[in-house]
């Protein structure tokens, strides 16, 4: 399960319902146009923390039905409600997902023993392999090398989605655990992470910019750093403009401009104002011909 994985977006209608037709179109755009190597389903980019358990299951089912065995699928099942996480983990495992992933428990200031117990409890109940989802800026959970080592002691924990700018820690994890899967989670730092020999990356902008991400990753593996740097520069120009205009809404509008029924974001996210819609369309034309 190496390479470039899109943190898959989901299409929602104006009432917040899953638009299955639009979701399938997003999937096909990722696979047929962006040429990504796999999909990370129901992560932050999929607006996972804004939807119900039944909607999560609907998305998991639709993605699996559309993809089958075409590419590997990772299901993000993490939740503050551990019973929901276990239920979702069993659900996707029975369906055939290649792995589960779970964000570190957040909001409450859990200590490390509680975090470790969260993962161990999920994996006692779910017969699948797990990728930790570490995103300290949003969860407030900062783990050190020794703590990652404790989590990795569970043989069913096969890797980490590392969404942090601490590249010293990233290098130490890579050096210490050569057999674990490490995915970079910051699209704008893909080149730097690739130099540290990560196994791949999982990112939001890969829904539209997956081809460039694959080129950066492949060039680094071939030792062609100047070529990778040139593509990362264009990628970061794109990312800067997308972030300034509104991340998820802008990506969805760019997909709309490509003929993909990407829908709208769920509340409390607001739709783009008219002028921002025009900016999104301009970004799409400028960077994604």
* 166 annotated to bind ligand: no
DSSP the chain: --EEEEE----B-TTS-B-HHHHHHHHHIIIIIS--SEEEESSGGGTGGGS-HHHHHHHHHHHHHHHTTSS-EEEE---SSHHHHHHHHHHHHHHT-SEEEEEPP-SS---HHHHHHHHHHHHHH--S-EEEEE-HHHH-----HHHHHHHHTSTTEEEEEE-SS-HHHHHHHHHH-TTSEEEE--GGGHHHHHHTT-SEEEESTHHHHHHHHHHHHHHHHTT-HHHHHHHHHHHHHHHHHHHHH-HHHHHHHHHHHTT---BBPPTTSPPPPHHHHHHHHHHHHHH--
| Catalytic (active-site) positions | 133, 161
* 188 annotated to bind ligand: yes
* 163 annotated to bind ligand: yes
* 204 annotated to bind ligand: yes
Q: From the annotation, which residues make up the binding site for aceneuramate?
A: 44-45, 163, 185, 187-188, 204
Q: From the annotation, which residues make up the binding site?
A: 44-45, 163, 185, 187-188, 204
């Amino acid at each position: 399960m190496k390479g470039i994985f899109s943190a898959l977006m989901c299409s929602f209608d104006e009432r917040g319902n899953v638009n299955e037709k639009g979701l399938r179109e997003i999937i096909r755009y990722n696979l047929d146009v962006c040429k990504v190597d796999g999909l990370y389903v129901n992560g932050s980019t999929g607006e996972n923390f804004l939807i119900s358990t039944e909607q999560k299951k609907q998305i998991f089912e639709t993605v699996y039905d559309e993809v089958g065995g075409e590419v590997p699928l990772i299901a993000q099942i993490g939740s503050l409600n551990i019973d929901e996480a276990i239920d979702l983990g069993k659900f996707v495992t029975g369906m055939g997902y290649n792995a589960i992933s779970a964000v570190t428990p957040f909001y409450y200031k859990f200590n490390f023993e509680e975090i470790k117990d969260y993962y161990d409890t999920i994996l006692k109940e779910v017969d699948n392999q797990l990728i930790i989802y570490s995103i300290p800026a949003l969860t407030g959970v900062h783990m050190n090398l020794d703590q990652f080592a404790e989590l990795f002691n569970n043989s069913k924990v096969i890797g980490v989605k590392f969404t942090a700018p601490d590249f010293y820690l990233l290098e130490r994890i890579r050096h210490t655990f050569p057999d674990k899967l490490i995915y970079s989670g910051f699209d704008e730092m893909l080149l730097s992470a690739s130099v540290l020999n990560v196994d791949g990356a999982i990112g939001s902008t890969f829904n539209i910019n997956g081809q460039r991400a694959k080129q950066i990753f492949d060039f680094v593996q071939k030792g062609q750093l100047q070529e990778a740097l040139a593509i990362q520069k264009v990628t970061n120009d794109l990312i800067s403009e997308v972030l300034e205009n509104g991340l998820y809404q802008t990506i969805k509008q760019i997909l709309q401009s490509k003929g993909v029924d990407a829908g709208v974001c769920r509340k409390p996210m607001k739709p783009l104002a008219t002028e921002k819609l025009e900016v999104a369309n301009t970004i799409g034309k400028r960077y994604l011909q």
